[in-house]
């Protein structure tokens, strides 16, 4: 089967690598003008002619990047099956729509306000109590398109810096850790869940994801499973969905945002789970049985950001798996990731620190359970 992928970055690259053993072929349609997949058949979309050529080559379409014109995805749906649907993209692109969906399904979130003017932003900051986070309602990821406001007087400057006509303002959460739940829903409605991961961000960019968490109560995993299942069923979703959450001090979970695709916090599954998120996404969209999501052993994904370390030194570590994206070095750019496995969490933490020391721009990780 020839699978069309909207977007042509490292997530698409990893989808292709997972799909070749299933005899899948891949055609990527890049909408940014900067494709980096380096694999499969890559086409750059500029007009209807390119879209027609793309659609003629593929059997079905998925995406590795949700910042796409919804009208484009809807037009593709008229011609070929698209999984997940354009409705998932429409909701996930708009933080106001996303929060409304969470509210409707009873999924708790941090307190928030929607604002359309600097004065409204200042009022929201006063009402919610600083600090607050202001984010553009559309666009923005990896910390882009947002600002932390520590005093209502900073609202006007934050409004100018974000430079977007509508913002969502969120109260700060006194959380213990940031976590994510990844689930997969098949075309027949079957759902499987990965163990939750603890995520460590620096400057808004994910640095470390560790799964399974050694101190996670089974009841918390079940709550997260219920939240994401509600989203999957409501959207009649097919494929991998990611829900990012805050875990509060009382153990409760608050939803931050969701991503309708394979996700950076699931990269650990490539080596640490029985079936990776990438293979399971491909199974789901093709109507194949979903694979086992259990963790083989404690695993941590280490993102390589900005500058790469010495590959030989990293690969000299026992049970270390380096996944490079063949991208040029640039500050803040995701260049690769390393998956580290160990029989115990204690041994894993030692390995993670040793790996971080080999990377030029890797801060020392601090996990909540240490």
Q: For residue 268, which of 314, 329, 199, 356 has the smallest C-alpha distance? A: 199
Distance CA 126, CA 312 (A): 52
**Is 234 assigned to a binding site?**
no
| CA separation, residue 254 to residues 264, 265, 335 (Å) | 20, 17, 30
Sheet strand arrangement including 25-30: 41-44, 25-30, 2-6, 60-63
**Is 332 assigned to a binding site?**
no
Bridge pairing between strands 299-305 and 205-211:
antiparallel
**Is 142 assigned to a binding site?**
yes
**Is 143 assigned to a binding site?**
yes
**Is 99 assigned to a binding site?**
no
**Is 201 assigned to a binding site?**
yes
**Is 221 assigned to a binding site?**
no
**Is 178 assigned to a binding site?**
yes
**Is 24 assigned to a binding site?**
no
Total residues found in the chain within this entry? 370
Which DSSP string do the residues of 261-293 spell out, in sequence order? S--GGGTTHHHHBSS-HHHHHHHHHTTPPPPP-
Can you say whether the dihedral through the CA atoms of 140, 143, 145, 146 is positive or negative? Answer: positive
**Is 291 assigned to a binding site?**
no
Distance CA 361, CA 363 (A): 6
**Is 174 assigned to a binding site?**
no
Strand ranges, E, within 137-259? 146-149, 167-171, 175-185, 191-193, 197-202, 205-211, 239-248, 253-259
**Is 173 assigned to a binding site?**
yes
Distance CA 57, CA 123 (A): 52
**Is 48 assigned to a binding site?**
no
Annotated binding site: 95, 135, 140-146, 170-173, 178, 201, 256-257
Annotated binding site for ATP: 95, 135, 140-146, 170-173, 178, 201, 256-257
């Amino acid at each position: 089967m020839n699978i069309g992928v909207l977007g042509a970055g490292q997530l698409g690259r990893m989808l292709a690598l997972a799909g070749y053993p299933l005899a899948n072929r891949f055609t990527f349609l890049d909408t940014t003008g900067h494709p980096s997949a380096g694999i499969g058949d890559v086409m750059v979309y500029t007009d209807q002619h390119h879209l027609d050529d793309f659609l003629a080559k593929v059997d079905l379409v998925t995406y590795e990047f949700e910042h796409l014109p919804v009208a484009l995805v809807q037009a593709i749906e008229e011609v070929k099956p698209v999984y997940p649907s354009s409705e998932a993209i429409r909701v996930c692109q708009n933080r106001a729509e996303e929060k409304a969906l969470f509210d409707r399904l009873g999924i708790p979130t941090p307190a928030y306000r929607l604002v359309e003017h600097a004065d409204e932003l200042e009022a929201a900051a006063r009402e919610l109590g600083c600090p607050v986070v202001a984010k553009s309602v559309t666009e923005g990821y990896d910390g882009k398109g947002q600002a932390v406001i520590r005093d209502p007087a900073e609202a006007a400057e934050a409004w100018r810096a974000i430079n977007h006509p509508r913002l969502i303002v969120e109260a700060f959460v006194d959380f213990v850790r940031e976590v994510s739940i990844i689930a997969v829903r098949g075309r027949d409605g079957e759902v499987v869940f990965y163990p939750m991961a603890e995520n460590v961000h620096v400057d808004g960019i994910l640095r470390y994801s560790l799964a399974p968490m050694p101190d996670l109560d089974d009841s918390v995993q079940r709550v997260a499973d219920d939240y994401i299942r509600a989203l999957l069923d409501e959207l009649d979703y097919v494929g991998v969905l990611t829900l990012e959450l805050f875990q509060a001090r009382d153990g409760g979970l608050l939803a931050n945002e969701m991503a309708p695709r394979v996700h950076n916090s699931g990269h650990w599954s490539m080596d640490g789970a029985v079936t990776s998120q990438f293979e399971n996404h491909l199974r789901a969209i093709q109507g194949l049985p979903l694979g086992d999501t259990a963790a083989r052993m404690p695993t941590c994904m280490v993102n390589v950001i900005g500058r790469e370390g010495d590959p030989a030194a990293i690969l000299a570590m026992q049970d270390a798996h380096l996944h490079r994206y063949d991208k040029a070095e640039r500050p803040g750019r995701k260049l690769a990731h390393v998956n580290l496995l160990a029989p115990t969490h204690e041994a894993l933490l030692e390995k993670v620190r040793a790996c971080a020391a080999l990377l030029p721009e890797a801060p020392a990780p601090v996990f909540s359970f240490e």
